[in-house]
Structure 1
Amino acid sequence: MNRSRVTLALAVLLVGVAAGTVLTAVFGREGESAAGEAGPGLFRTEHIVFRSLKRGPDQGRIAYVPPDAARSRVLAGPRCLRVAAEAGRAVCLRDGGVPGRPYEIVRLNDRLKEAGDEPLAGVPSRARVAPDGRHFASTVFVSGHNYISLGFSTETMVYDGKNGRPLANLEHFTFLVNGVKDGSVDRNVWGVTFAADSNVFFATVAVSGRTYLARGDLSRRTLTALRENAECPSLSPDQTRVVYKKRVSETSQDAWRFYAFDLRNGREWPLGETRSVDDQVAWLDGERVMYAVPKSGEGRTTADIWTAPLDGGKPRLLIPDADSPTLVGTDL
């Protein structure tokens, strides 16, 4: 082989090695993108934003995929214990990492870059961003660690979406049941879902051993009970239906069942998901919701994201090794 052919062969080899290195760096060993931040189009096209639970150094980081989850997830943003996104904003509930600040809520911009943070009073549980981005909410456990524990206590805060400033503690709102002010001192509020205007929202209110689906009004500082035994609501894109979990058993193994409720006529019906799932669903489109189902194996506990239609149809796996999903980039 003459010198020119050797040189050509060596050049081809080097290009191949370089290309392989780039592909490994971008997609990793399991086809995940290792991008450090989201592209500028993340909130202008449809994506599911969620928390990736694949084992490895990136476990717990924010990730995103198209709504059909057909392509590999892209990693972007920090590690979180809960994440929610909407309208060009996202929030991340995470470990504080400094003494005296065990947990915090972090605001993220449309490239999932950190824009500010506030301390949290307890263990992160729920988060939601309003459809117009004007407000966001967090729920934490001040005591206890789940919604079936005896004596648990929550704190739910609403924040200004632009600057992250705390606006309201929902436990301080006036709570009305059948038009009468409730004066219970053991009140807990959790699981906010915002209406399109950001002022109206729905949440769970628990008093005297009972839970209620309540309609909230930020400007009036009121919570109005709509019905009993409804927790962690999620309002549909067309503002007409709510999906929540109902307590159907006192045992933790089969405590919950997802139900849909039509706000226009009061009709309620069960979804096809029969497993007991302790999560706040998010809407995948106008007729399907998505949620995380815990799984155990290999000495660890993780979760998969499933989706179920409102018509009672069979649920299906959507994104493995993931939780805390929300859909961004569309008004549905």
Structure 2
Amino acid sequence: MKSKRQYILAALVVVAVLIAGGFAVNSFMGFQERTQAPAIVAQQNPEGIAQIPLEGAVVFRDTRATDNYGKVAWAPLDSPNGSRTDTGLSCDRVYRTGGMLSCLSALRDMNTSYDSTVYSIGGHLLAERALPGEPSRTRVSPTGMVGVTAFITGESYDFVGFSTETVIAVPGGTNYGNLQDFDILIGGTKLTAEDRNVWGVTFAKDAQTFYATAASGKQTWLVQGSLRDKTLTAIGENAECPSISPDGKLIAYKKRRADSDPAQWDIAVLDIEKKTETLYPLEAGFDDQLEWLDNNTLLFGQPREETPGDADIFSLDLVPGASPKMFIEHAWSPSIQR
């Protein structure tokens, strides 16, 4: 016959097992919530998207401290820093060109989730999918493709051990998958490192060619991608977040300063045909994917250090010794409608 002490010990064991089991279930549920977070409910026909002009305007994220903070807005190109028109759509990153608008957003709550949505020029939802982490970059091609980069771990490109997912897809059509699964060719040799990452897509005018950043360890490369061959071929080093000019002749990108810690980047521009690079040093550096105002002028966002969450968009003329000029105050993530 069991002693009272034995019964107490058995009861404690049962309680311990139940607690451990409950902890395991809760941990698993938490893991499921983190890795399979439900997509944000997209706004059907968001107010104002249909009113964005197809040309002669700049689209951006409003960062003023108003009720429209975080909303997609637009302003005429002939007075970009004048009056703006806000839409009803909230995005952390936005890009609009041709017939589509790509919106990356974060729903910050007890269980934060991330979402990628694509809308027609009339505001109709074309595609939606959950993202694996913080939204980072997005671009829309002239031929109807959307490129999206999101972080999986880490907080920035300066964080050691970060991981990204970059996907190119046609809304309602072909999904080319995660670009890190493409063959990455460095000097003709296939990159096999497990820590390879790809981010920051920009599209050529055809339906097959794009450019992006590929990375492994502390090395980054400017790569030319082929959707047909599913390859990424290095055409330059120390280059991040490329952006191709409207005429398709130049690629602008971030170039990290040697031995900068924390990381600082300047602007570099590659002449694709001549294979020559021109550097445009910036006193304060920057960290954004560049946008082209025209074939001779770049745009980029610069966060306001004194006001977290706020930013300004600057322009830079591609002439020696040029300094950035204010383009739009309290704004972020520009795209030009031309």
TM-score scaled by length of structure 2: 0.81
Which residue pairs with 2:164 in the alignment? 154
- Please give the alpha-carbon distance, in whole angstroms, between the structure 1 residues aligned to 2:332 and 2:255: 20
- Please give the alpha-carbon distance, in whole angstroms, between the structure 2 residues aligned to 1:272 and 1:302: 24
The 3-state SS of whatever aligns with 2:310 is strand
Shift of the 280–108 alpha-carbon distance from structure 1 to 2, 3 Å rule, reads: same
Which residue pairs with 1:91 in the alignment? 102
Which residue pairs with 1:288 in the alignment? 297
304, 307, 318: which one aligns with 2:312: 304
1:50 aligns with 2:29: no
Question: Identical aligned pairs, as a percentage?
Answer: 34
Query: 1:156-186 CA distances to partner (integer Å, 9 max, x unpaired)?
Result: 011114x276332100000111112121111
- Please give the alpha-carbon distance, in whole angstroms, between the structure 1 residues aligned to 2:148 and 2:95: 10
Q: Letter of the aligned partner of 1:63 in structure 2?
A: A
Q: Does the CA-based 8 Å contact 2:158-2:263 persist in structure 1?
A: no
Which residue pairs with 2:69 in the alignment? 59
Query: 1:213-265 CA distances to partner (integer Å, 9 max, x unpaired)?
Result: 00000111000001110000001111111110111044455611111111111
Q: Does the CA-based 8 Å contact 2:197-2:215 persist in structure 1?
A: yes
Q: Does the CA-based 8 Å contact 1:254-1:276 persist in structure 2?
A: no
Which residue pairs with 1:225 in the alignment? 234
Q: Does the CA-based 8 Å contact 1:253-1:276 persist in structure 2?
A: no
180, 188, 196: which one aligns with 1:179: 188
Query: 1:19-41 CA distances to partner (integer Å, 9 max, x unpaired)?
Result: xxxxxxxxxxxxxxxx9313456
Shift of the 101–253 alpha-carbon distance from structure 1 to 2, 3 Å rule, reads: closer
- Please give the alpha-carbon distance, in whole angstroms, between the structure 2 residues aligned to 1:220 and 1:36: 40
- Please give the alpha-carbon distance, in whole angstroms, between the structure 2 residues aligned to 1:56 and 1:251: 36
Q: Does the CA-based 8 Å contact 2:90-2:105 persist in structure 1?
A: yes
Query: 1:274-313 CA distances to partner (integer Å, 9 max, x unpaired)?
Result: 3211100011111001010011335x34110001011232
The 3-state SS of whatever aligns with 1:277 is coil
Q: Does the CA-based 8 Å contact 1:84-1:90 persist in structure 2?
A: yes
236, 239, 253: which one aligns with 1:244: 253
Which residue pairs with 2:116 in the alignment? 105
Shift of the 253–320 alpha-carbon distance from structure 1 to 2, 3 Å rule, reads: farther
Shift of the 244–222 alpha-carbon distance from structure 1 to 2, 3 Å rule, reads: same
- Please give the alpha-carbon distance, in whole angstroms, between the structure 1 residues aligned to 2:134 and 2:199: 13
Q: Letter of the aligned partner of 1:304 in structure 2?
A: D
Q: Extract unaligned runs of 5+ from structure 2.
A: 1-45
Q: Letter of the aligned partner of 1:117 in structure 2?
A: E
Shift of the 301–76 alpha-carbon distance from structure 1 to 2, 3 Å rule, reads: closer
Q: Does the CA-based 8 Å contact 2:52-2:74 persist in structure 1?
A: no
**Aligned-residue CA RMSD (Å):** 2.1
Q: Extract unaligned runs of 5+ from structure 1.
A: 1-34
- Please give the alpha-carbon distance, in whole angstroms, between the structure 1 residues aligned to 2:155 and 2:108: 20
Deviation (angstroms), 1:272: 5.4
Which residue pairs with 1:136 in the alignment? 146
Q: Letter of the aligned partner of 1:224 in structure 2?
A: T
The 3-state SS of whatever aligns with 1:314 is coil
The 3-state SS of whatever aligns with 2:336 is strand
- Please give the alpha-carbon distance, in whole angstroms, between the structure 2 residues aligned to 1:128 and 1:96: 21
Q: Does the CA-based 8 Å contact 2:292-2:298 persist in structure 1?
A: yes
Shift of the 240–155 alpha-carbon distance from structure 1 to 2, 3 Å rule, reads: same
TM-score scaled by length of structure 1: 0.82
Rg bigger for which structure? 2
- Please give the alpha-carbon distance, in whole angstroms, between the structure 1 residues aligned to 2:251 and 2:258: 21
- Please give the alpha-carbon distance, in whole angstroms, between the structure 2 residues aligned to 1:106 and 1:77: 14
